[in-house]
Amino acid sequence: MVRAIELLSRHPGERLSLARIVRATGMSRATAHAVLTQLTADGWTVRDGDGNYSLGLGLLTVARRADTAFPLRRLALDTLHGLAADQRVPVFLAEREHDAIVITEVIGTPSVPWIRPARRMPVAPPVCREFVAWAPESERAAWLAAADPLHRPRLTAVLDAIAARGYSVERLADESAPMLEALAALRHSPVTDPLRQRLSAMIADLITIDYLPDELTDRNAVVSIAAPVFAADGTVVASIVTCPDTNLSAARLRDLADATVAAATTVTATQRA
């Protein structure tokens, strides 16, 4: 049922055939038919005269009730819209859920395809740095221990820089991502130790994690800037992320970062009120 609802939610303006739902979810035709029959009976999905399915109003009722259990998105919404409009860049909110973060709101249309509502990512190196920079030393150490040994010195310096300035910067160029994924897959396949070391070195060469203070120039490739939202006990429960995905001067990067931090500070204060 969850797989079916998630699939339909990713295509809100479409009516999907049973065959397409079967292919996309991996369910058998009989299972998919039984699931969708029950969902339709409960009003969570609607079946048209051609046998295609879409989301039903019954799900909207449940979603509205569930929304009250997670107030941060609602509290942050005006701030997110204001930040996106003032800075003229897409913005999203990522909330922490145990050992993962979930994108709960997106304003605008980010050029990076993985940025979409309900996208979940593990809090694992080298990403989610703004969730770790202010964490207790034991949590930071565990996060660093999960990183590639070649990246640990860089990540340690980056976490300290993020805690000092108040935000993280994602600088991995989109065109490097496919090559990075291919190299990572090869590194974990049955290869000789020398080849594995060479692959690790190539991955390290492709990844430049964040910016340290002395590395900014007049042309800085910035995918996103993320600032933390804190709970009353000082833990990072969310981040507000601006997504310029372009080259910025050092001055423009700092201006956008200041605006992102200010928005996150506003949301922090709002949720504590």
Summarised one tens digit per residue, pLDDT across range 57-88 is 888 788 777 777 678 888 999 999 999 999 99
Identify the pLDDT of residue 180. Answer: 47
Long-range contacts, 55-61 (Cβ 8 Å, 24+): 55/5, 55/8, 55/9, 55/12, 59/5
CB-based contacts of 132, cutoff 8 Å, min separation 6:
123, 139, 140, 143, 159
Amino acid at position 65, single letter = R
Per-residue confidence (pLDDT) for residue 143, from 0 to 100 = 95
User: Which of 206, 261, 239 lies closest to 128, judged by CA?
Assistant: 239
Residue 174 has pLDDT above 50, yes or no: no
> Per-residue confidence at 197, pLDDT binned at 50, 70, 90?
low
Instruction: Please name the helix (run of DSSP H) or strand (run of DSSP E) that holds residue 95, with its range, or none.
Output: strand 91-97
93 has a pLDDT exceeding 90: yes
- Rounded Cα distance, 48 and 14, in Å: 11
Q: In the prediction, which pLDDT does 64 show?
A: 75
Q: How confident is the model at residue 111 (pLDDT cuts 50, 70, 90)?
A: confident
The sign one gets for the Cα dihedral 244, 128, 154, 158 is positive
pTM over 0.75: no
Residue 193's pLDDT is what?
61
Reported as a pLDDT band with limits 50, 70 and 90, residue 26 is very high
Between the alpha carbon of residue 182 and those of residues 86, 189, 202, the distances in Å are: 38, 11, 11
- pLDDT above 70 (res 11): yes
Q: Is residue 255 pLDDT above 80, yes or no?
A: yes
- The distance from CA 168 to its chain's CA centroid, rounded to whole angstroms, is 13
- Is the model's pLDDT at 25 over the cut of 70? yes
For 84-98, what is the mean pLDDT? 95
- Cβ-count burial of 134 within 10 angstroms (0-12 exposed, 13-18 middle, 19+ buried)? middle
Give the mean model confidence (pLDDT) for residues 256-272. 94
Cβ-contact 121, 127 below 8 angstroms: yes
All domains in the chain, ordered by first residue: 2-65 (1.10.10.10), 70-172+207-272 (3.30.450.40)
Residue 131 pLDDT level (bands cut at 50, 70, 90): very high
Residues 221-250 have pLDDT tens digits of: 898 999 999 999 999 999 999 999 899 999
